[in-house]
């Protein structure tokens, strides 16, 4: 009988412990859970210009086959989001990837300046780890808006917008309950279309990406 009472006591104690731990975990999850947030970022922007196709157009126009491309620069981002629970959020934003250049020494007019602007929305999966650290992955769509014009004159100018699948991965460290820092990589897919210098159509194509340091504030 004493053993039976001890067993029952152990079961009750174990059940209470599990319940307390579960309640604590739920409280912690709630603490990380719902709420809106805003973010701003600066980072390394890149456009993977399809240089071979542009060189082909230059050669067809009787220009030298040699060229150079500035594929990278400083990019900026602003965004808003809503954390539905500790593992899922939705966020949208605007990315300004600034300017990229394609240059051919044949004539100043073949120096093409690209300007990339992106509107996007993502579903974000978050995994809290410990001590304010979390990792995340996101997938969504991006409206890639690319403008191409000649550097010296207005002889060639085109704009195009294409919606593409996009994704990102990164990590976040929360310095306080409201403020944190992120490091992330985002890939927005390709922008633009095949260029035709003679017909003044198209923009040239390239893939867009951003590696950034973000400041995030949770309300």
Domain boundaries, the chain: 1-32, 37-218
pLDDT tens readout for residues 49-108:
766 666 766 666 666 666 666 677 899 999 999 999 999 999 999 999 877 777 766 655
122 Cβ contact list (under 8 Å, min separation 6): 90, 91, 92, 138, 139, 140, 166, 168
For the record, the structure tokens of 175 come out as 């310095």
Cβ 62 vs Cβ 99: under 8 Å: no
Give yes or no for residue 30 having a pLDDT over 50.
no
Give yes or no for residue 40 having a pLDDT over 70.
yes
34 Cβ contact list (under 8 Å, min separation 6): 82, 83, 84, 85
Q: pTM to 2 decimals?
A: 0.75
**Average pLDDT estimate for 154-172:** 87
Handedness of CA 33, 39, 44, 48 (dihedral sign): positive
DSSP-derived secondary structure letter, 196:
B
Considering only 15-24, 120-129, 174-183, 210-219, which range has the smallest mean pLDDT? 15-24
pLDDT tens readout for residues 168-191:
999 999 999 899 999 999 999 988
Cβ 184 vs Cβ 170: under 8 Å: yes
* pLDDT in the model for residue 217: 96
How far apart, in whole angstroms, are the C-alpha atoms of residue 210 and residue 166?
11
The pLDDT > 90 percentage for the chain reads 43
Q: Which helix (H) or strand (E) holds 171?
A: strand 157-174
Give yes or no for residue 17 having a pLDDT over 80.
no
Cβ 165 vs Cβ 121: under 8 Å: no
Split at pLDDT 50, 70, 90, the class of 109 is: low
Give yes or no for residue 18 having a pLDDT over 80.
no
* pLDDT in the model for residue 158: 79
- Rounded mean pLDDT of the chain? 78
Give yes or no for residue 7 having a pLDDT over 70.
no
* pLDDT in the model for residue 33: 58
Cβ 115 vs Cβ 146: under 8 Å: yes
CA proximity to 78, closest of 176, 188, 216, 218: 216
Pick the CATH number of 37-218 from 1.10.1060.10, 3.50.50.60, 2.60.40.10, 2.40.160.20: 2.40.160.20
Split at pLDDT 50, 70, 90, the class of 29 is: very low
């Amino acid at each position: 009988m004493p053993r039976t009472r001890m067993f029952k006591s152990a079961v009750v104690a174990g059940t209470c412990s599990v319940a307390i731990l579960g309640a604590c975990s739920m409280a912690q999850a709630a603490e990380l859970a719902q709420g809106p947030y805003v973010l701003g970022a600066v980072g390394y922007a890149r456009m993977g210009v399809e240089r071979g196709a542009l060189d082909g157009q230059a050669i067809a126009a009787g220009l030298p086959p040699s060229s150079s491309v500035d594929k990278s620069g400083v990019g900026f981002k602003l965004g808003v989001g809503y954390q539905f629970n500790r593992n899922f959020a939705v966020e949208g934003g605007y990315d300004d990837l600034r300017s990229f250049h394609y240059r051919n020494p044949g004539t100043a007019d073949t120096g093409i300046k690209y300007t990339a602007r992106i509107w996007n929305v993502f579903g974000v999966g978050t995994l809290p780890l410990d001590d304010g650290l979390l990792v995340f992955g996101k997938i969504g769509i991006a409206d890639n808006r690319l403008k191409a014009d000649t550097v010296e004159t207005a002889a060639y100018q085109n704009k195009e917008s294409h919606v593409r699948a996009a994704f990102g991965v990164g990590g976040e460290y929360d310095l306080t309950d409201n403020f944190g820092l992120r490091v992330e990589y985002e890939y927005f897919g390709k922008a633009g279309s095949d260029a035709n210098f003679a017909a003044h159509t198209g923009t040239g194509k390239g893939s867009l990406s951003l590696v950034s340091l973000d400041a995030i504030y949770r309300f």
